[in-house]
Amino acid sequence: MSTLPYILGIESSCDDTSAAVICGTKILSNVIAGQKVHAEYGGVVPELASRAHQQNMIPVVDTALKRAGISQEEISAIAYTNGPGLLGSLLVGSSFAKGMALSLNCPLIVVDHLQAHVLANFLDTEENKPKPEFPFLCLTVSGGHTQLLMVHNYFKMEILGRTIDDAAGEAFDKAAKMLGLSYPGGPVIDKLAQLGNPKRFSFSIAKLSGLDFSFSGLKTSFLYFVRDQLKENPNFIAENLNDLAASMQFHIIKSLTDKMEKALKTYKCTNFALSGGVAANSELRKRMMELADKYNLRVTIPPLALTTDNAAMIACYGYFKYLQKEYSDLSVAPYSSILKLL
């Protein structure tokens, strides 16, 4: 048995039910059950997500413990996502975590999902990559949020910029939907874009001053363009799919990297990081590494499996709170919106 604590993480904020066990910052297991039930709707249906979480939770936690090779009694603390996310989904994870902590008489730790995405960068990797050093800039890009942060320590994250409308992941997902592609659209566009010409079509990008983002105008520009082209040629999408994916991806990534570069010029720090589901995007990862080279800075990007929603990142945040004995009681209620913690 390790002298470091074993933290069980539970994630249920959207459409992935996940449980993980970490020891210190080493991942012992990280089990993720996706929910295929949403595929035919082209997006997450909240009520179906809650029901699927209820079905998945016990087997997922059970598997996470088995894979980690520890018993329930060895768990030092249970960390769970308390928000932001879909309220019904959060309630399933929080009720389960509370019940389990009560029955095991172990500490309970609430975790902010977005901050946990950032802390995914502190989990041990197979390649033993160096971890970020405080303070650092972090671009968090997920399906529901887009933020540029100054990360002062594990818990103090200052928002320097955020989207004023859609999130970057949402822009990927909505563009994919317009092209008749499956949900979630980000990975599909990423794959198609590798075979397409990113300069073929151009769309309008929002020019906001400061470090805020906007993707709603880009989405509308893409929608009108595709709609107009389809009037001329009903096969337009099929004939130009790779170029459409590559061009749309180019614009989304450009919006993100332009702001990241602006932040790097404005705020002095030795390193920066990327986090959230869109951090899985191959083009964004490449561009971030180019920025690091250009400014002679170090960049940390989580391994692919730790970019999209997972419980290891929840457990990681829990671990740092555990070290500070920051426990919660059973009265804490989940929250759906971003405003609460950050």
CA distance 196 to 65: 43
Which residues contact residue 302 at a Cβ distance below 8 angstroms, ignoring those fewer than 6 apart? Answer: 120, 121, 123, 125, 274, 275, 279, 313
- Residue 82 is encoded by which pair of tokens? 């308390």
* Interface with ligand KG4 in residues 165-184 (CB under 6 A): 169, 172-173, 184
Which tokens sit at 48?
């179906």
Nearer to ligand KG4 by C-beta: 98 or 285? 285
Note whether 326 and 109 are within 8 A (CB). Answer: yes
CB of 113 to Zn ion, least distance (A): 6
Residue 21 contacts residue 29 (beta carbons within 8 Å): yes
Residue in the block written with tokens 């950050």: 342
Give residues 293-322 in contact with ligand KG4 (rule: CB under 6 A).
Answer: 308-309
Q: Does 15 bind Zn ion (CB under 5 A)?
A: no
222-281 residues near ligand KG4, rule: CB under 6 A: 276-278, 280-281
| Nearest-approach distance from CB 71 to Zn ion, in angstroms | 29
Which of ligand KG4, Zn ion, none does residue 29 bind (CB under 5 to 8 Å by kind)?
none
State which of positions 122-161 bind ligand KG4 (CB under 6 A): 142-144
The least distance separating ligand KG4 from the CB of residue 49, rounded to whole angstroms, comes to 12
Helix ranges, 14-85 (H): 46-68
310 makes contact with Zn ion (CB under 5 A)? no
Query: Which option in ligand KG4, Zn ion, none does residue 184 bind, with CB closer than 5 to 8 A by kind?
Result: ligand KG4
Query: Given the complex with Zn ion, which of 132 and 184 has the nearer CB atom?
Result: 184
Q: Do β-strands 146-151 and 157-162 pair in parallel, antiparallel, or remain unpaired?
A: antiparallel
Q: What is d(CA 245, CA 157) in angstroms, rounded to the nearest whole number?
A: 33
The least distance separating ligand KG4 from the CB of residue 179, rounded to whole angstroms, comes to 13
* Type and span of the H or E element at 89: helix 87-104
Q: Under the criterion CB under 5 A, does residue 309 sit at the interface with Zn ion?
A: yes
Smallest distance from ligand KG4 to CB 95, Å: 20
What is the binding site for Zn ion (CB under 5 A)? 142, 309
